[in-house]
Amino acid sequence: MYSFLDNFIIYLKVEKNASPRTVESYQQDIWQFIDFMSDDLKIPGEQVHPRDVNHLVVRKHLAILQRNGLKRTTIARKMASLRAFFRFLNREEIIAVNPIMDVSTPKMQKRLPQVLYQDEAWMLVEAPDTRNPAGLRDRAIMETLYSSGLRVSELVGMNFKDVDFSLGFIRVMGKGAKERIVPLGSYASSALERYINAGRPALNKKNIEALFLNKNGGRLTARSIRNIIDKYVGQVSIQRKISPHTLRHSFATHLLDGGADLRTVQELLGHVKMSTTQIYTHVSKEKLMSVYEKNHPRA
């Protein structure tokens, strides 16, 4: 079965252009399932054939994962890995029937995304001390995240040439290596221009193309962005757990609160499915009810 997994990994890298992190996640999930199959059938993993898998075996694997205390989100992710793997095997005619088709994924609890109030967002993005290069960079980072709703991976992947001040747009590479053009707000544009002119030259010790640089002149990582956000959340004393993705959630919610239509927000966020964007309508409805109950005399 391992040889089939190797072919699947090649397919993910070449045809799907999946990120290294995604490939690693799929590989580990499927390895775990093959190990389970080997133990269950009492034969070595390399001798297990995909034809040996049926829906009962998959359900047994899920039951064990649940007994081991794994979260529903983790189990759902592992199921998604297996679905993709067996869909690939079915497409390649290695198996005639996809055994995962008869197995349902555990239902997920719907959780509304954490969102900043507008005044909190403003306090956060204005927190950095812009009298030094790092502060100019941090201000530009948070203004861009809040202004354009970027994923952190998109932000750290940006290069200097991806910013077009004349048109007020930035070019980002989203999931699945899909490029999109995103508007840059006036505050973000101003913060980026100041960083590029007065902050970035002091950090650019290696003369690389990356837009956002660390103190050593290298490209910032997603972990670095999280640390930067944590630093300023502490400074402005927001008493909630805030992540870089919270700024993306806030961007979408504040757009909808301001009257933007769902289709526009979907395009700006780079969502493939409208259903992914629709969660933000629930957040806005929550705010509407809050305002209504607070202000209406007969609420």
Task: Please measure the distance between the N-terminal and C-terminal CA atoms of the chain and give it in whole angstroms.
Answer: 62
CA distance 283 to 249: 10
298 is an active site residue: no
Instruction: Please tell me the distance from the alpha carbon of residue 276 to that of residue 252, in angstroms, as a whole number.
Output: 12
The rounded distance, in Å, linking the Cα atoms of 116 and 121 is: 6
For this structure, is 171 an active site residue?
Answer: no
Known active-site residue 55: no
Task: Single out the catalytic residue among 55, 180, 245, 287.
Answer: 245
Q: Is 111 a catalytic residue?
A: no
Q: Give the separation between CA 5 and CA 31, rounded to whole angstroms.
A: 8
Annotated catalytic, 248? yes
Is 294 a catalytic site residue?
Answer: no
Of 139, 151, 200, 249, which residue is the catalytic one? 151
Cα–Cα distance list, 265 to 120, 150, 250 (Å): 21, 12, 12
Query: Quick one: CA dihedral 210, 215, 217, 222, positive or negative?
Result: negative
104 CB burial (10 A radius; 0-12, 13-18, 19+): exposed
Q: What is the dihedral of CA 77, 83, 85, 86, to 10 degrees?
A: 160
Active-site entry in 26, 146, 195, 280:
280
Of residues 175, 180, 194, 219, which has the active-site annotation?
175
Catalytic residue among 171, 180, 271, 287: 271
Let me know how many helices (H) and strands (E) the chain has, helices first: 14, 3
**Of 168, 154, 156, 265, which Cα lies nearest the Cα of 209?**
156
Active site residues: 151, 175, 245, 248, 271, 280
